[in-house]
Amino acid sequence: MGTLSLSDYEDVRIWAPWGHIAGRWYGNRSERPILAIHGWLDNLGTFDTLIPLLPDYLGVLCIDLPGHGCSARLPAGMHYSTAEFILIIARVMKEYKWPKVSLMGHSLGGVLSFIYTALAPHTVDLVISLDILVPPLESPESLKLLGYALDKHLVEDERAEEALMREPPSYTLAQLRSVLSKGSNHSVPPEFAQYLLHRSVTKSQLYPEKFYFSRDGRTKYYNILPLNSALAAEMARRIRNKPYLIIKGSKSPFISARSNEAINILRNQNPHFEYYEVPGTHHVHLISPELCAQYIVPFLRHHRPPTVSSWSLAGEEQKLSTREHRKAQENFFARNLKRLSKL
């Protein structure tokens, strides 16, 4: 058995009342895949460096959340929220008639996985959470952010109306890489920004060498649904005997003391709970995917083992060396840079 290939995929469009959810299904398309959900303001490109390290007997369906990547925006006047994003998981399951779902989420995607699993634990067979567990807990700071976001959301409504009449501000690719890196608090270095930009920008019609962000500006100010500590703990208690893997980036603040109670509950009542810390930032799965894959691959092999029908004579283990994997990243980077230049 080998590893997945970035070139072996099918682009999919999942119907939604406001348009569609865009996705990319890698590898095996004859069995239920892992459903991968990206973080806030990112898109499915966040998994591009991790995909080639995962076992090829399992498919991975990566999706763009509404307003992100190539997915449709919500109608004018609507407000993005955690509640709407959680419903996307159910929509995808309904589309493919899955009785259960295997979830892998980074950041916001990990929060959605936690909440959905707590609400419908009987429909989830495993969770992989990358550098997150619970959403922000209630605090004076979180309330201030909610108030700030309400005002900013109205500003984005006005900008969206203006964009219908004239093109948004455009930038060079070098400028966009810098902007994206700064917006991630430098969790994504400029040289890795390409993995996210190729689904987040559109070529300017006014300036041939420039591009502008195509994601919905309202996503910057979505309702994050802060939980109180008691509710977060109760949600963790609902996740019993469920294979749950958490990987934390050592330089990231997104798993902190506020997550300890929920983590301890999961650990104490769940023999299938695993927690690891690896060197890196919030986007460690993108920047150093090998560090994450060393735990994700055995976790998947144990809890989603290959079926007999997926075995073959070519089943010798094929593990990409660091050099081979970096070469695959470089080739992918070059292809998408070429694609952007042709837009």
**Annotated catalytic residue 107:** yes
Neighbours of 207 (CB within 10 A): 13
Give the Cα separation of 50 and 285 in Å (integer): 7
Which are the contacts of 96, defined by CB distance < 8 A and separation ≥ 6? 32
Spatial separation of the C-alpha atoms in residues 239 and 241, rounded to whole Å:
7
Termini Cα distance of the chain: 37
Catalytic residue among 7, 30, 81, 107: 107
**Rounded (5°) CA angle 114-53-320:** 160
- Extract the tokens encoding 141: 């700071």
Instruction: Name every residue whose Cβ is closer than 8 Å to that of residue 158 and which is 6 or more positions away in sequence.
Output: none
CB 273 within 8 A of CB 129: no
Q: What's the CA gap between 249 and 16, in Å, rounded?
A: 34
Which residue numbers are catalytic?
A: 107
